[in-house]
């Protein structure tokens, strides 16, 4: 597909979630190419919302820590440092395309409180109307272990439901959902999951990177949460996103419930 041809999801409201391992450490170099794809959707009439993990992982090296901290206070401190740096990296990449980012930080309580939830929806929708690209993350500096989303896959699904997104794209370091963990002999890619399919016989692992908090199981749960509200979900690898927009058959699609929007 050439640049003159519309990409997949053109003209649609799309929530894109990217995991910590894809945008932190050495993989922070992937941010400009990711942003190139987001910008392509943006300029072809799409309403794009980015849900980005990575604040803690980004902040840790600047705090001279060798590993992800276990205690909540240090995680919160790392998030405060990393969120600033992470959004700055996104904005530098977006500026090449004359796009401005708008930072939105949410907690689980915000999505459960009707007033907070309505305020968040109003702000996000207004940002989209103004041509701003919202970048959403959990507000780690005020979240506690008891009220955290647990992972940003769930946050992205809740955001997709909140704004009535047409599509949710879950990007990570795994290219698709498989019938078993990808490193198991004989595992095959699942191209489509019909709505309501319980995936009987599929061995869904809970593996995760050293930085992220999610795994295949959390992605499937998030996909189901969004799909039941009428949002089609596509799970694939971050580095394949551009090819996906070109129409390449990557990843796993979770079909949306009919007539849910």
CB of 98 closer than 8 Å to CB of 12: no
Q: How much of the chain exceeds pLDDT 90, in percent? A: 66
End-to-end CA distance of the chain: 30
205-229: pLDDT as tens digits: 654 433 344 578 889 999 999 999 9
DSSP line for the chain:
--TTSPPTTTTSEEEEEE-HHHHSGGGGGGHHHHHHHHHHHHHTT-EEEEEE--HHHHHGGGGT-SS---SHHHHHHHHHHHHHHHHHHHHHHHHTTT--EEEEEE-HHHHHSHHHHHHHHHHHHHHHHTT-EEEEEE-TTT--TTT--SSHHHHHHHHHHHHT-SEEEEEESS-S-BSS-TTSTT--B--EE-TT---TT--------SS-S--HHHHHHHHHHHHTTT-EEEEEEGGGHHHHHTT---SEEEPPPTT--
**Which residues participate in the annotated binding site?**
17, 53, 140, 152, 172-173
- Which pLDDT score, from 0 to 100, does residue 140 have? 80
The residue-averaged pLDDT of 223-247 equals: 96
Listed by start position, the domains of the chain span 13-254
- Which pLDDT score, from 0 to 100, does residue 205 have? 63
pLDDT band at 180 (very low <50, low <70, confident <90, very high): confident
102-159: pLDDT as tens digits: 999 998 788 889 999 999 999 999 999 999 999 999 888 887 664 456 568 999 999 9
The residue-averaged pLDDT of 1-26 equals: 87
Mean pLDDT of the chain: 89
Helix axes 72-95, 31-43, angle to 10 degrees: 60
**Which residues participate in the annotated binding site for substrate?**
53, 140, 152
The residue-averaged pLDDT of 1-17 equals: 85
- Which pLDDT score, from 0 to 100, does residue 82 have? 94
Helix axes 216-227, 152-163, angle to 10 degrees: 10
Q: What is the pTM of this model?
A: 0.92
The residue-averaged pLDDT of 162-182 equals: 92
91-116: pLDDT as tens digits: 999 999 999 999 999 987 888 899 99
- Tell me the fold of 13-254: Carbamate kinase (3.40.1160)
- Which pLDDT score, from 0 to 100, does residue 144 have? 66
The residue-averaged pLDDT of 169-193 equals: 89
- Which pLDDT score, from 0 to 100, does residue 3 have? 56
**Which residues participate in the annotated binding site for ATP?**
17, 172-173
């Amino acid at each position: 597909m050439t640049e003159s041809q519309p990409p997949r999801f053109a003209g649609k409201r799309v929530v894109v979630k990217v995991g910590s391992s894809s945008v932190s450490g050495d993989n922070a170099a992937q941010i400009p190419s990711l942003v190139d794809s987001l910008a392509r959707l943006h300029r072809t009439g799409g309403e794009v919302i980015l849900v980005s993990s990575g604040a803690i992982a980004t902040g840790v090296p600047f705090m001279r820590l060798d590993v992800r901290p276990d205690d909540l206070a240090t995680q919160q401190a790392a998030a405060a440092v990393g969120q600033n740096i992470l959004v700055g990296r996104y904005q530098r990449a977006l500026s090449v395309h004359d796009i401005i980012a708008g930072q939105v930080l949410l907690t689980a309580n915000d999505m459960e409180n009707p007033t907070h939830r309505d305020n968040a929806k109003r702000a996000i929708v207004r940002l989209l109307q103004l041509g701003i690209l919202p970048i959403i993350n959990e507000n780690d500096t005020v979240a506690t272990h008891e009220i955290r989303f647990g992972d940003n896959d769930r946050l992205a699904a809740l955001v997709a439901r909140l704004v009535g997104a047409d599509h949710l794209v879950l990007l990570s370091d795994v290219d698709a959902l498989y019938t078993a963990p990808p490193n198991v002999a004989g595992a095959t890619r699942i191209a489509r999951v019909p709505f309501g399919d319980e995936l009987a016989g599929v061995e869904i692992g809970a593996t995760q990177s050293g930085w992220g908090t999610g795994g295949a199981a959390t992605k499937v749960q998030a996909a189901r949460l969004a799909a039941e509200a009428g949002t089609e979900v596509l799970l694939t690898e971050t580095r394949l996103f551009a090819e996906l927009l070109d129409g390449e058959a990557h990843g796993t699609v979770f079909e949306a419930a009919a007539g849910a929007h």
